[in-house]
Amino acid sequence: MDGLGLNTLHSPLMITSAIVIRNLTHRFGHFAALQDIDLVVPKGQTFALFGPNGAGKTTLLRLIAALTRPSSGEIWVCGDNARRDPKMIRKNIGFISHHTMLYDDLTARENLAFYGCMYGLQNLDARVEEVLGAVGLTDRQRDRVRDFSRGMKQRLAIARSILHQPSILLLDEPFTGLDTAAQSMLSNLLIALKAEERTVFLVTHDFAKGLALADRFGILLRGQLIREASTKEVDESELRTQINSRL
């Protein structure tokens, strides 16, 4: 491990990387959901992870978000170790999945104010106002989430995930069930985050979107990372063929 320069928070790899994963294995009983994963995502880059259902993509995201402790191996997010500093990691990440994580019987504004409180944000009202504007929901801020369309709920979920200005955004199939307008809004947000040099880790089935947005990509198959490369080195059809041939 020392040879990798991971023994100190100030090692060059830690300084330049948003996510560092070393020898990561995660088991559910005897089933190995992830095996010997090694991955480095540099700061400011967008990384897309592809793979079929059951490949272990969501498990990997949950491990990076420190929601689950790995069976073996280590994960560092912005230099914080997932086993030792899960709280620090949660301060630095935003998470978007196809579940909105919003309370249906609270208004859009109340949902964001609640989460802002849980993050311990200062100047909460101003920040809530700002993110509501960013996702185009200022006019509907006093309406209950129950009355929102799927697209509006997902826009609010995006607002929730960027409320605390995280350095890293983790996205689990974020385009699922979105209408065209919401998909385009999400794509624009990801481009804007990239311009702000924030790191994005995207898990998706959508090769075209993933390749268009990401700098690098990985293919996860049966818990193993079988390829990791720059998105410039591959096109959609080649990727599809590679995954299908290994299935």
- The residues that touch other proteins, with contacts defined as CB under 8 A, are 62, 65, 67-69, 87-88, 90-91, 93, 95, 97, 99-106, 110, 114-115, 117-120, 144, 160
Amino acid at 87: K
Q: How many residues does the chain have?
A: 247
Closer CB to other proteins, residue 90 or residue 209? 90
How many CB atoms are located within 10 Å of the residue 7 CB?
10
Phi/psi-derived region of residue 197, left when phi > 0, alpha when psi is between -120 and 50, beta in every other case? left
Q: Which is nearer to other proteins, 155 or 160 (CB)?
A: 160
Contacts with 21 (C-beta within 8 Å, 6 or more apart), sequence order: 37, 38, 39, 40, 64, 73, 74, 75, 76
> Residue 104 CB, nearest distance to other proteins (Å)?
7
For other proteins, the closer of residues 68 and 242 by Cβ is: 68
DSSP labels, 138-173:
GGGTTSBGGGS-HHHHHHHHHHHHHTT--SEEEEES
Number of separate helices (H) and strands (E) present in the chain: 9, 10
Nearer to other proteins, 106 or 212 (CB): 106
* 3-class state of residue 184 by DSSP: helix
DSSP at 92: H
Least distance in Å: CB of 188 to other proteins? Answer: 23
Give me the least distance between CB of 157 and other proteins, in Å please. Answer: 9
State the minimum distance, in angstroms, from the CB of residue 160 to other proteins.
7
Q: How far is the CB of 114 from other proteins (least distance, A)?
A: 5
Q: Report in angstroms how near the CB of residue 100 gets to other proteins at its nearest.
A: 5
**Strand 168-172 relative to strand 93-96, pairing:** parallel
Name the residue nearer to other proteins (CB basis): 177 or 235: 177
When the beta carbons of 6 and 106 are compared against other proteins, the nearer one is 106
Closest CA to 49 of 245, 238, 166, 215: 215
